[in-house]
Structure 1
Amino acid sequence: MPNERLRAVMTSGGWTHADLGRVTGVDPKSVERWVNLGRVPRRATALKAAEVLGEDVHALWPALRQSRAAQKVSPELVAVYDQRADLPVSLFVDLLASARERVDVLVYAAVFLHEAYPKLNDLLRERAAAGCTVRIAVGDADSVNVRQRGMEEEFGHGIETRCRLALMHFRPLTAVQGIEVRTHGTTLYNSLYRADDQVLVNAHMWGVNAYRAPVWHLRRHGSGGMFDTYADSFSAVWATAEPVEE
């Protein structure tokens, strides 16, 4: 499809294919294809052409706006799920089972894991025995932020009860070498389930129970990306958390 906007701008400015090709460093036949066939030049070339034509680059080539947006999708993003309830527990289990160096779990309660997979503690013991460092941070049932979360979800004292239940589930692991369990009282913006360079992030939304909130699966890609941001967040919470005694 011809690029009529580009044709009109060139015509009004007295630009020929050869003229625009010369100032942008491309063959005149390439410019002809931009106009007559609607071809989209490389971004750097398009920016130079738009500058000399005195026109907005996205007005001449709207597709460049779309491609820029697509490039903003993180290479670390593996998948996005509408809500945690859509994920089988096996996805969490398989992720944790894949760990070779590190398992980090940051939640308020997440008792759905033990309820759906009673052998979770056995799995974590196996990972620790294989050399993994396992860190589990659950919500302090007596903290202001946990109580506030219960009110926001209209869950009342249920969230506090579930935090105590989660601690009951995880407490036996405090005697296992390589595993540490702590309680935290931070505002929990996301629940994190990390295994080495992968993490499942369960978002928290005001007034919405975590099982109805989205989950994204990230895999680390270089340094300084989304994965590292969440890993650093875990470390910051962990530093404030209180160790659970046997």
Structure 2
Amino acid sequence: MMTGRILLIEDDPGIRKFLRVALEAQGFVLEEEASGKSGVARAATAHPDLVVLDLGLPDMDGKAVIARIREWSDVPILILSVRQAEEEKVAALDAGANDYVVKPFGIAELLARVRALLRTSGSGTVPEPQIVRGDLRIDLARHEVTLAEEPIKLTRKEFDLLALLARNAGRIVTHRQLLADVWGPAHEHDLQYLRVFVGRLRAKLGDDPSAPRFLLNEPGVGYRFLD
């Protein structure tokens, strides 16, 4: 019998109860959340082997939940939704979901999909959703940054820029890649814009460009997060 930890993000208590009985009978450990925000947080702390996600959550769309989890984890995500339109399925899969089951569903089919995803993913463990460099801690799941245990307030774009560099620690990330990934392809040549944001990050992190602790400028090429 295959085992593993499954995180169910579903706001319908009836479906949660039905799946709890079915999955626990198969030997799975089930974690449950009824909202997108709490589901993302539980994904970061519970280290599930698989996430089963409803798209129609009360606080945020399921595709946004996928995007948040995919910022730091490759855990398999199985969508369970009443949305049958092809464009909805494609959008969810493009966002990073691994499979899609339409409600109402047969439990035998669902269990088969679960087993297939767990086999494909191997161990299915979730990487630690935090990056720590000295006294700097970047929590990718909660979008929080602390320095010497003091919170650093960053805008969304500042956080995305720092997280992208930190996930590629030790490697040069080019100007074009940073601009395209954080601001979109239309901004690939807005180098001055990038310099302004890097300057803001350095100021908030107390990072002296003449003796950097975190962000190193590679002139004419890009930036490197020091490993």
Q: Same fold (TM over 0.5)?
A: no
Flag the structure with higher strand content: 2
Flag the structure with higher helix content: 1
After TM superposition, the score normalised by the length of structure 2 is 0.26
After TM superposition, the score normalised by the length of structure 1 is 0.25
Give 1 or 2 for the bigger CA radius of gyration: 1
- Higher RCO, 1 or 2 (CA under 8 Å, sep at least 6)? 1
